[in-house]
Chains A and B, each alone.
Chain A
Amino acid sequence: MGPDKNLLERWHTTEILLLGGSAGSFKLLFQLVKGLPADLDKTVIIVIHRKRNFFSEIEKLFAENSFLPIREIEDKDIVKKNTIYIAPVNYHTLIENDGYFSLDVSEAVWYSKPSIDVTFESAAEVYKDRCMAILFSGANQDGAEGMLKLRQTGAVTIAQHPDDAEMDEMPTAAININAATYVLRTDEIFKLLHT
């Protein structure tokens, strides 16, 4: 079955795609990004929990397998279309009204820095119904409150189906507070984003 017609329409008009994930979502996000076309015409912002002082080459890995340029966000970077942004570790990523990123080193949220909640809430303030957010596998509750805020400001919010999530706590938390407009199976998410 193809994606819901309404949802497909929203995907086509959305300007910002927010992806949040933690434990058990890295491979999935990687594959998802791999399938995005060079003429996507949207901004992709990825917030994934990562270990501090673990000098991973995540950006390089993503970049080698993507049609779109990948950038680990630096302070005051302008939010551009057709770019995949990754939130840096040990900072929270915020979005300013005039279309650029700003970083923040304040306390971790749900033991996480970057926190998905922080970026999602900030995106909700700025982009409102112009964005779509998807929350994937993870072992804590980060992202749920942020999704709720996004939903309240008119964004489309999707939780990965808990049965498909390696760690279901994160999408479940979002579903439990009624923050998800849609709950989709992994293959449905792929179909939607890769059409």
Chain B
Amino acid sequence: MSDTAVSISSPQITELIDLIKKVHGFDFSGYTKASLKRRVTRIMQLKKLEFYDLKHILVNDQHFFQDFLEEITVNVTEMFRDPLFYQALNQQVIPYLSTYQHAKIWCAGCSTGEEVYSVAVLLREAGLSKKSFIYGTDINTEVLKEARKGIYSLRSIKSYAENYQFTGLKGSISDNFTILYDAASIHNELKQNTLFSVHNLVSDDVFNEFQLISCRNVFIYFETELQERILELFYKSLCPLGYLCLGSKETIRSDVFKKKFKVINQKENIYQKIGT
């Protein structure tokens, strides 16, 4: 079978991680290996590369590395993915944000921006658009370009609309878009209070103080030690009593951080910073 012809061994993955770190400065050593392996195998199949060729091209072709980075990180995202999470966010966190003169929100690992705009919709519905600002960050410059554009295919909007129905929010998701041919463009009103910028959770530090940090379906790609390091970063980036949201299947596993965060919603993994 052609599919099984190309594959990569665990020592080869380690070799690749070392090489990428040396040549490009990106550290993937804390990433989960099964997923990494699957992504690398996929790239090798797509580009028809043997392991040796892959190493060669990674060293010598800067353009290729950008493609590689885009392929190796998973950029599948949706607006209102896990509708019940957004329902919980709306009921349990938004009222807290409204007590601030100005609330700052960080969506870490925001990919093409769907989650940032979902939060923006929630804030608009709550009348907080003018009192809030959302930072979307990712390690990947290409996806951030897409995020800034805020243009999504009509096909994906259809499934986002289905998600939206389950959130219990008023109105319709289409209130937030202008539809042109087969694409939907996010209203400027929602884009106004957003900023998309490069930030690498593995190597970059605190850059602001936030009332809410949302980092969903990013931890699944990290081993537990790296997760703990990033929890430290989030802890330092949150104001006292600030909120942290993880993905629906991601929990805080570290005993140290279990003590530093209070569980607000067990099912949706919403936490609140306690202590100082």
Contacts A74-B251, A88-B249: A105 and B76 contacting too (C-beta < 8 A)?
yes
The reply to whether the CB of B24 lies closer than 8 angstroms to some CB of chain A is no
Query: In whole angstroms, how far apart are the Cα atoms of A94 and B35 in the complex?
Result: 7
Contacts A76-B253, A94-B34, A94-B35: A106 and B76 contacting too (C-beta < 8 A)?
yes
The reply to whether the CB of A73 lies closer than 8 angstroms to some CB of chain B is yes
Contact call A105/B34, Cβ cutoff below 8 A:
no
Q: Which of B34, B39, B77, B251 is packed against the most chain A CB atoms within 10 Å?
A: B34
Contact call A76/B34, Cβ cutoff below 8 A:
no
> Per-residue 0/1 for B3-19: is the Cβ within 8 Å of any A Cβ (1 yes, 0 no)?
11000001000000000
Contact call A122/B249, Cβ cutoff below 8 A:
no
Tell me which of A103, A118, A145 contacts B38 (CB under 8 A): A118
Tell me which of B77, B166, B249 contacts A73 (CB under 8 A): B249
Tell me which of B1, B247, B249 contacts A177 (CB under 8 A): B1
Residues of B within 8 A of A126 (CB): 34
Total count of chain B residues near the partner, CB < 8 A: 32
In the complex formed, the residue of B with least CB distance to A152 is B4
In the complex, which residues 79-127 of chain A have their Cβ closer than 8 Å to any Cβ of chain B? 88, 90-91, 94-97, 102-107, 118, 121-122, 125-126
Query: In whole angstroms, how far apart are the Cα atoms of A75 and B71 in the complex?
Result: 22
Tell me which of A53, A90, A148 contacts B4 (CB under 8 A): A148
Smallest distance from the beta carbon of B13 to chain A beta carbons, Å?
10
> Per-residue 0/1 for B168-201: is the Cβ within 8 Å of any A Cβ (1 yes, 0 no)?
0000000000000000000000000000000000
Binds A, one of B116-124, B217-225, B234-242: B217-225
> Per-residue 0/1 for B27-53: is the Cβ within 8 Å of any A Cβ (1 yes, 0 no)?
000001111011100000000000000
Residues of B within 8 A of A88 (CB): 249
The reply to whether the CB of B163 lies closer than 8 angstroms to some CB of chain A is yes
The reply to whether the CB of B209 lies closer than 8 angstroms to some CB of chain A is no
Contact call B4/A104, Cβ cutoff below 8 A:
no
Residues of B within 8 A of A148 (CB): 1, 4
The A-B contact count (CB < 8 A) is 72
The reply to whether the CB of A130 lies closer than 8 angstroms to some CB of chain B is no
Contact call A105/B220, Cβ cutoff below 8 A:
yes
Contact call B224/A76, Cβ cutoff below 8 A:
yes
Contact call B250/A75, Cβ cutoff below 8 A:
yes
Contact call B249/A74, Cβ cutoff below 8 A:
yes
Query: In whole angstroms, how far apart are the Cα atoms of A104 and B37 in the complex?
Result: 12
Q: Which of B4, B77, B162, B253 is packed against the most chain A CB atoms within 10 Å?
A: B4
Residues of B within 8 A of A97 (CB): 10, 33-34
Contact call A103/B249, Cβ cutoff below 8 A:
yes
The reply to whether the CB of A149 lies closer than 8 angstroms to some CB of chain B is yes
Contacts A53-B163, A75-B249, A94-B35: A102 and B76 contacting too (C-beta < 8 A)?
no
In the complex formed, the residue of A with least CB distance to B1 is A148
The reply to whether the CB of B154 lies closer than 8 angstroms to some CB of chain A is no
Contact call A96/B34, Cβ cutoff below 8 A:
yes
B interface residues (Cβ-Cβ under 8 A, vs A) = 1, 3-4, 10, 32-35, 37-39, 74, 76-77, 81-84, 162-163, 166, 217, 219-221, 224, 227, 247, 249-251, 253
A-B contact pairs, 30 of them (CB 8 A): A53-B162, A53-B163, A74-B251, A75-B247, A75-B250, A76-B253, A88-B249, A90-B82, A94-B35, A94-B38, A95-B34, A96-B33, A97-B34, A102-B35, A103-B217, A103-B249, A104-B74, A105-B76, A105-B77, A105-B217, A105-B220, A106-B35, A107-B76, A122-B38, A125-B37, A145-B3, A148-B1, A148-B4, A149-B4, A152-B4
Extra A-B contacts (18), CB below 8 Å, given A97-B34, A102-B34? A53-B166, A73-B249, A75-B247, A75-B249, A75-B251, A94-B32, A94-B38, A96-B34, A97-B10, A104-B35, A104-B74, A104-B220, A105-B220, A106-B39, A118-B38, A125-B34, A125-B37, A145-B3
A interface residues (Cβ-Cβ under 8 A, vs B) = 53, 55, 73-76, 88, 90-91, 94-97, 102-107, 118, 121-122, 125-126, 145, 148-149, 152, 177
